[in-house]
Amino acid sequence: MSELLQILDETGKKVGKAPRLKRDVLLQMYRSIVQTRAFDDRCMKLQRTGRIGFSVPNLGIEAVSAGAAAAMDPSRDWFAPYYRDFAMLFYHNISPEKMFDNMFGNCEDNAVGRQMPVHFTFTEPAKFFSISSPLGTQIPQAVGMAMAMKNRGEDGAVLTTFGDGTTSSSGFHSGLNFAGVYKAPIVFLCQNNQFAISCHSDKQTASESYAIKAKAYGMPGVRVDGNDALAVYKAVSDAAKRAREGKGPTLIEAYTFRMGGHSTSDDPSRYVDADLIKKWQKRDPLMRLRNWLISEGHLTDERAEEIAEEAADEMKNAADAAHAKSRPVLGTIFTDVFEKVPPHLEAQMESCIKHHAERDEAVDEKGEFPL
């Protein structure tokens, strides 16, 4: 198995050459992990009390998202993430309130309530392609985005992320095969958290690693410690530089562990051994980065606690603001598809609104979420 790139060990001690990064960048990586945990905590409370239908916990894997986000340039790069990458959004200062707008599916949600919760999409302040639930669909789409960049002569790159389970999808094969042949300026980042819902990696692939699959597609494969934000930054930064220089794609496997359920609808105790969770708790990516930042003089224990309190308050206030907003009006089902609503949809919209108005029927907004 290929060597695992690591810069910080489990205690936060430096064991490799750290990339030269400004203090603000390092603290933003740390802050984005803290914000993700605060967002997850707020979402769990909202879901358990029936105010939102669904969320996807990020506990344990946040360093993959934070380190990768810091390596990309939002002024020229695109992100095609999957549904467990919240720290990417926080690193690039996406508004928590706008994220909660999606969680509630309210009138200010960018998807106007049409998407599932945690299926974010943004164009500012960074370009995040819409998250989708079907595994691997974002990969060939991301390759298409990268090829469009290349054909237009732009100097940006695309970062697309996915879990280990997605490597069994046809989108993974077709996307990497096409990108390898045409040297698309793209970085493929596999977040190997060891479980595709309840399916362990040893039931997912017979390969010695996910990174080794890159050989079949004619691109470099890199394995990195996914709980080490600095190592992830280094791997993604090098791959993005290679992509921008026209040298083609890279497949990165970030080896990490999901210390929670696949979603708020999942009970991981049914398939994950408790001792395994305890083992990975000692490798906590947040404490690893925190310890190193303190040892380098970039952070103090007092300031770290303040950041945690600020994040908790920020998420509560953002959730309260989003919850107070109204639902999208019924007519939005028919709009936003065409620049000008065509006559047949106009007629359908009027008929639908008339139907509900005459019968005093409200849209069922309290139905049980299907997942």
Give me the CATH number covering residue 97: 3.40.50.970
363 band by pLDDT with thresholds 50, 70 and 90:
low
Residues 122 and 264 both lie in one domain:
yes
Q: What residues have CB less than 8 Å from 300, skipping those under 6 apart?
A: 294
| 365: in domain | no
366 band by pLDDT with thresholds 50, 70 and 90:
very low
| 239: in domain | yes
Residues 206 and 309 both lie in one domain:
yes
Mean pLDDT (whole number) for 324-330:
90
Residues 160 and 141 both lie in one domain:
yes
How far is residue 331's CA from residue 346's CA, in Å, rounded to a whole number?
9
| 370: in domain | no
* 20 pLDDT more than 50: yes
360 vs 94 pLDDT, higher one: 94
Residues 315 and 342 both lie in one domain:
no
Residues 342 and 308 both lie in one domain:
no
What residues act catalytically? 258, 262, 271
Full domain range(s) for residue 339? 330-359
One DSSP character per residue, 44-63 reads HHHHHTTSSS-----TT-HH
Residues 257 and 290 both lie in one domain:
yes
Residue 39 to residues 62, 68, 264, 267, 317: CA-CA distances in angstroms?
12, 19, 13, 20, 11
Residues 318 and 342 both lie in one domain:
no
Mean pLDDT (whole number) for 35-42:
98
Looking up tokens 């467990």 gives 84
How many domains is the chain built from? 2
Min mean pLDDT across 98-107, 206-215, 226-235, 360-369 is at: 360-369
279 band by pLDDT with thresholds 50, 70 and 90:
very high
Mean pLDDT (whole number) for 93-109:
96
368 band by pLDDT with thresholds 50, 70 and 90:
very low
362 band by pLDDT with thresholds 50, 70 and 90:
low
Residues 334 and 213 both lie in one domain:
no
Residues 338 and 319 both lie in one domain:
no
337 band by pLDDT with thresholds 50, 70 and 90:
confident
Residues 285 and 172 both lie in one domain:
yes
| 368: in domain | no
| 364: in domain | no
| 183: in domain | yes
| 366: in domain | no
359 band by pLDDT with thresholds 50, 70 and 90:
confident
333 band by pLDDT with thresholds 50, 70 and 90:
confident
How far is residue 158's CA from residue 86's CA, in Å, rounded to a whole number?
17
Q: Strand, coil or helix: what is 306?
A: helix
102 band by pLDDT with thresholds 50, 70 and 90:
very high
Q: What residues have CB less than 8 Å from 237, skipping those under 6 apart?
A: 19, 71
Residues 338 and 302 both lie in one domain:
no
Residues 101 and 151 both lie in one domain:
yes
